[in-house]
Structure 1
């Protein structure tokens, strides 16, 4: 699947989605977001796709929200600014939720600057692998706004509350080595092999049961908000579903056959 703004390729069960607006450092316009949502929904629905790698074209991962779009919103009639902003937020949150709740592993392969919404988009993925050219900044404060792409939820869970406040209050740039030390980045690799390394990692993460992975991810995503009792209860329900899956049955039968052959 290819559009002017989004490229999506699938190889060996691994989808690679490229934000393709390099002349704007892949800043997210409304049109690009629509194409992004369509691509994410396709990946989520396609059972043949086992994992997703997200990266950016050119020198940047994603420079955040499109400044031209911000200008248009400010120039809207006064009585429409609030509702227009609310409507845009619904689209932003839907996009980030698609990444966060994707029922398969999602890896952000950060090839350059991830700023504002771009940094939040990386955090909405399960894992982040970054090149030596990557950097991160929650630069919303410099535009007089707050992180609206999940940064106030995801960042404290990676770096702790106090450090998250410092990064959000200052909007300063974090280079890849500091990001790795803080836990923002999970792995660092060469820019030349970044996407290939991300794809290899995605294949490793998605070798197991797709059913068990999707159910386990759903519970893990909520585990900081749920009580132990609730996690156990959801785990029991998920396990009941796993018991009925063909993946569970086939793996158990293969194990029993192998054991019988050794006797």
Structure 2
């Protein structure tokens, strides 16, 4: 059997991984092969302690145009009694990819270089922070295909822009440019297109200079904070802090601080 063409390009430089969605001829639309390759790349990043942060972007003019329409046609052409189970299997892989990005114990940055539509918008939203190129735009285009957001957008979007605005964007499927996305809190930064990846990679370095274990604990706690009570967050924090006390990073930081004070 012929191996599918590489649809994901992963590189690592000085501890910063850059994952490029690499089907520019179809605006980086995601098919089953690309989804599997993305999962494998994200698992590699998550397992490699030498990688401190991840930047995800798209090759060509788009970030990601969403799910591959040709794959949708093939799904509809399947026997009626297989449509639901095939869709369920595909959903499991989509959720695996999104979960790997969301739960990764290191910073994730979406560098949105162009259109982020449908599932592409979901993928950007599930990253910790988003930097958009000036020409970029976002659209929750699912309802226009008779579908609902299925890649985490209905969870992440209200947490970024509020419930009513999220309903506006999902119900209408309207296009949101980079400037509006910044104004409503959908993204954190906007950059010139030619400087997008360098700025994203520099930001990744800034976000990952501290203790890797402490950062992972902080991220995991913050990600649960909106669904947790004050007491629950404090309890999670107490357990995480107790572990941080035992790490080499904490010991080295305290020793370096005290040694610096002693030399003054």
TM-score, normalization: structure 1?
0.98
What are the within-5 Å matches in structure 2 for residues 20-99 of structure 1? 20-99=22-101
Secondary structure of the corresponding residue to residue 44 of structure 1: helix
State which of 257, 260, 263 in structure 2 corresponds to 1:261. 263
Counterpart selection for 2:127 from 125, 131, 151: 125
Q: In the TM superposition, what is the alpha-carbon distance from 1:259 to its structure 2 partner?
A: 1.1
The answer on 1:171 being equivalent to 2:177 is no
User: CA-to-partner distance for each residue in 1:147-196, whole Å, 9 max, x for gaps?
Assistant: 00011000000110000001000111111111111111110001001000
Whether 1:155 and 2:163 are equivalent positions in the alignment is no
Pick one of 229, 250, 253 that aligns with 1:251.
253
Q: What SS does the corresponding residue of 2:194 show, helix, strand or coil?
A: coil
Root mean square deviation, CA, Å: 0.7
Report the equivalent of 1:108: 110
Partner of 1:218: 220
Return the alpha-carbon distance in structure 2 between the equivalents of residues 242 and 211 of structure 1: 7
- The Cα shift of 1:133 comes to 1.1
Q: Distance in 2 between matches of 1:227 and 1:91?
A: 31
TM-score (norm 2): 0.97
CA distance in 1, matches of 2:82, 2:244: 49
Cα deviation, 1:14-48, whole Å, max 9, x if unaligned, reads 00000000000000110001100000000001000
Shift of 1:260: 1.2
Give the secondary structure class of the aligned counterpart of 1:193: helix
Structure 1 stretches of 4+ moved >3 Å: none
1:80 alignment partner, SS class: helix
Secondary structure, in 3 states, of the residue corresponding to 2:193? coil
Where does the alignment leave 5 or more consecutive residues of structure 2 unmatched? none
Aligned residue in 1 for 2:185: 183
Matching residue of 2:14: 12
- 1:261 deviation in Å? 1.2
From 136, 139, 150, the equivalent of 2:138 is 136
Deviation string for 1:111-168 (max 9, x for gaps)? Answer: 0000000000000100000111100000000000100001100000011000000100
Q: Distance in 2 between matches of 1:76 and 1:45?
A: 37
